[in-house]
Amino acid sequence: MSVYVSSEDLREQIRTGEKLTILAALWDAREGHAWSKFQSEHIPTALFCEPSLQLVGMPGSQVGRNPLPTLDRLIESFRGWGIEPGRPVVIYDTGQGIFAARAWWTLRWAGVEDVRILDGGFAAWHARGYETVAGPGPVAVHTEQEVKPGSLPTADIEDVRRYKSTLIDAREPSRFRGQRERLDLKSGHIPGARNLPVESLFDDSGKILDNSHILEQFAKLGITHDTDPASAIAYSGSGNHSAKLLAAMAHVGLPVLTHCIGGWSQWSADASNPVEREV
């Protein structure tokens, strides 16, 4: 099942009244600005999703910058969005797809099976000249969708310490090499990790590249359709870029690998953890 859906296809689904839940996964460091942005303009029928509040837990050095959400928080969010079995979910954001991908992975991890991402996000929708609306969005009918944490594989830092197989770092090359670090306590990467920058799988507009290119990049790391998801771990700074990497994998039919959510933000916070740099 393809993960990324085009603006044309989504518009047609909305026009024909197909039953689906659209989430606008918006993030802004300024309190209240994400909600204001949603209210000023969004895709018709979309509901507001604030990933930093609804899809992650309390940050800290022991868990990283964007840890997994609590079960109660997920249940509350699911009910507020009206998520129900058999009803597809389409997610978009207003950037390069990082927050939409994190929402995609979190919903999949929590047991929602049919989740898609709008290819190119809101910018692609806007570039086509498609209609937008203002206001708070529709009122969702509350449902009792069962939340099933652990529906996708995860790894913690202890798992990573013991790991002897493939580690994939999805961050940009300069952060992987340790040339610069703006977000976490130390620069570098987990020893033995190999770098596959997630943005190399997307074009400059944020749209996913063709399947053959993506498959080729993963094949260089020994990842194919037959790879056991437990045989490789993906990570990034705090689970966002790696979520986008996993979404790209799923889009081309590759297995969704084990995900270390805490990533470099958690690893680098422990002074006892070794660091590799390429400077």
| Both structure tokens of 232 | 């490789």
The CATH topology of domain 154-269 is Oxidized Rhodanese; domain 1 (3.40.250)
Q: What is the per-residue pLDDT across 32-69, written as a single tens digit (0 to 9) for each?
A: 899 999 999 999 999 999 998 899 999 998 899 999 99
Average predicted confidence (pLDDT) for the chain: 94
Q: Is the pLDDT of residue 185 over 80?
A: yes
- Check: CB of residue 236 under 8 Å from CB of residue 171: yes
Q: What is the per-residue pLDDT across 12-36, written as a single tens digit (0 to 9) for each?
A: 999 999 999 999 999 887 888 999 9
Q: What is the per-residue pLDDT across 230-252, written as a single tens digit (0 to 9) for each?
A: 999 999 999 999 999 999 999 99
Q: Do domains 4-128 and 154-269 have the same CATH topology?
A: yes
As a CATH number, domain 4-128 is 3.40.250.10
Ordered by start, the domain boundaries in the chain are: 4-128, 154-269
CA distances from 144 to 77, 78, 81, 225 (A): 11, 8, 11, 34
- Check: CB of residue 27 under 8 Å from CB of residue 56: no
| Both structure tokens of 238 | 């705090």
pTM: 0.96
Closest CA to 170 of 196, 194, 209: 196
Give the residues across from 106 on adjacent strands.
none
**β-bridge pairing 21-25 and 89-92:** parallel
Q: CA 90 from chain center: how many Å?
A: 13
The Cβ of residue 236 has, within 10 Å, a number of other Cβ atoms equal to 28
